Homo-oligomer: A and B are copies of this chain.
Amino acid sequence: MATVTTFTAGVAGASGYAGLELQRLLAAHPAIAPAVLQARSGGYDPIDEVALGGCDAVFLCLPHGASRDLGERLAAAGTRVVDLGSDFRVAGWTYGLPEIHREQVRAARCVANPGCYATAAILALEPLATAGLIDGPVAIDGKSGVSGAGKEPSAKSHLPDVHGGVTPYSPTGHRHIAEIEQETGTTVTFTPHLLPTSRGLLVTAYVRLTDPRVDLDALYRARYASEPFVTVVAAPAPQRLAGSNAVHVAAWRDDRTGMAIVAAALDNLVKGAAGQAIQNANLMLGLDEGLGLTAAGLWP
């Protein structure tokens, strides 16, 4: 509570949904002040590397592909950087999933924040992967609200197109597959679907088990018992987690087929983007990992 040190943060790309969510979360953060807000539009200051370089930590919320140069220059200058884009995730910077790489993040100055789908998928699969229980490839069915498609009106976010149903897209080749495979060591088929909602994400993974007698509930409860943001629940549902950094997970064993079904729910803009970025920054700055991230989901 009585935090003395206050750090300054810079946000490059403050006008998009991830940038706005960072501002919302930092406004309630007791030890990181959003000192520099920059964007190409929306009335913010323009992107200015010097101002960013003066911050204790910089969050890059730029379109995919637009972070590389700025990120490398800030990194070279020794600035702590969390990149919310995909440029540095695979074979790049420290992969900022604290539940997997907590100590590396603590020691890192450059962190690649995972994709929203990847966060859910990796946390869903990691206990099985670590225990050698996966007879791959794995099938992952992703479902997400359309806020992930960004602030600009597009076919993906046009209400008459997505309302009243569910829409598969990118059935193979989604950008997050490489991250998931890198972190789980298994190959995956991943097919995302647009939900008729704004926020919230669920992955349901279907895994053939190498040992059909494993006690999945015990395995997952043991693995995540000490994780502050991951909870094993009866039925993960993202509508319970709006605005929260929590992940809800459940794993079921289908004795008829020897498959595991693992569901993981989260808020795509919080644990899937801005919240996880702050979780990483907290670790990089030596702060308590959960600082500013304790809000419960807004439900109903």
The interface of chain A, by Cβ under 8 A from chain B, is 2, 17, 20, 24, 27-28, 136-137, 139, 141, 143, 145-147, 151, 153-155, 157-169, 171-172, 177, 187-189, 191, 193, 195-200, 202, 204, 206, 208, 235-240, 242-243, 250, 252-259, 261, 263, 265, 269, 294-296, 298-300
Cβ-defined contact, A189 with B259, below 8 A: yes
Cβ-defined contact, A137 with B259, below 8 A: yes
Cβ-defined contact, A204 with B188, below 8 A: no
Cβ-defined contact, B163 with A239, below 8 A: yes
A161: chain B residues within 8 A (beta carbon)? 239, 300
Cβ-defined contact, B242 with A164, below 8 A: yes
A27: chain B residues within 8 A (beta carbon)? 294, 296
A259: chain B residues within 8 A (beta carbon)? 137, 139, 189
Number of copies: 4
Q: In the assembly, what is the distance between CA of A298 and CA of B163, in Å?
A: 12
Cβ-defined contact, A158 with B153, below 8 A: yes
Q: In the assembly, what is the distance between CA of A66 and CA of B188, in Å?
A: 43
Contact A196 B193, CB 8 Å, known A168-B202, A202-B168, A296-B24: no
A155: chain B residues within 8 A (beta carbon)? 153
Q: In the assembly, what is the distance between CA of A237 and CA of B300, in Å?
A: 18
Closest 3 CB pairs between A and B?
A: A165-B239, A139-B206, A160-B300
Subset of 14 A-B contacts with CB under 8 Å: A136-B257, A137-B259, A139-B259, A143-B143, A161-B300, A163-B239, A164-B198, A165-B239, A166-B237, A168-B202, A168-B204, A168-B235, A189-B206, A242-B242
Q: In the assembly, what is the distance between CA of A299 and CA of B158, in Å?
A: 13
A147: chain B residues within 8 A (beta carbon)? 160, 300
Contact A163 B167, CB 8 Å, known A27-B296, A261-B189: no
Cβ-defined contact, B160 with A146, below 8 A: yes
A299: chain B residues within 8 A (beta carbon)? 20, 160
Cβ-defined contact, A165 with B200, below 8 A: yes
Cβ-defined contact, B235 with A169, below 8 A: yes
Contact A199 B300, CB 8 Å, known A147-B160, A257-B187: yes
Residue of A27, A164, A243, A252 with highest tally of chain B CB at under 10 A: A164
